[in-house]
Amino acid sequence: MKRTDVAMIILIASVSVMIAFFVANSLPFLKVDTTGATVKTIEAIPDGISDADQPDPAVFNDQAINPTVKTVIGKSN
């Protein structure tokens, strides 16, 4: 391509981006609400995690099978 072709492509792309920016700014549903929003919050749990929420020690223990370790059954080539 010639230099003028590259310059024309850059010019058209720049103008297209500017037009898209101004069109997007003029759309009311894309504007951010400046007043903000209020949301409900909850109180923190005072005792932290209770015994009912602890993982089962029969499954999660030091002797449990690690699924990330490669297991080979039979001969390995």
The per-residue pLDDT for range 19-71, each reduced to its tens digit, is 999 999 898 888 887 888 889 998 877 766 666 667 788 888 888 888 788 87
Predicted local distance difference test score (pLDDT) of residue 29: 84
Contact present, 16 and 10 (Cβ < 8 Å):
no
Question: Can you give the pTM of this predicted structure?
Answer: 0.41
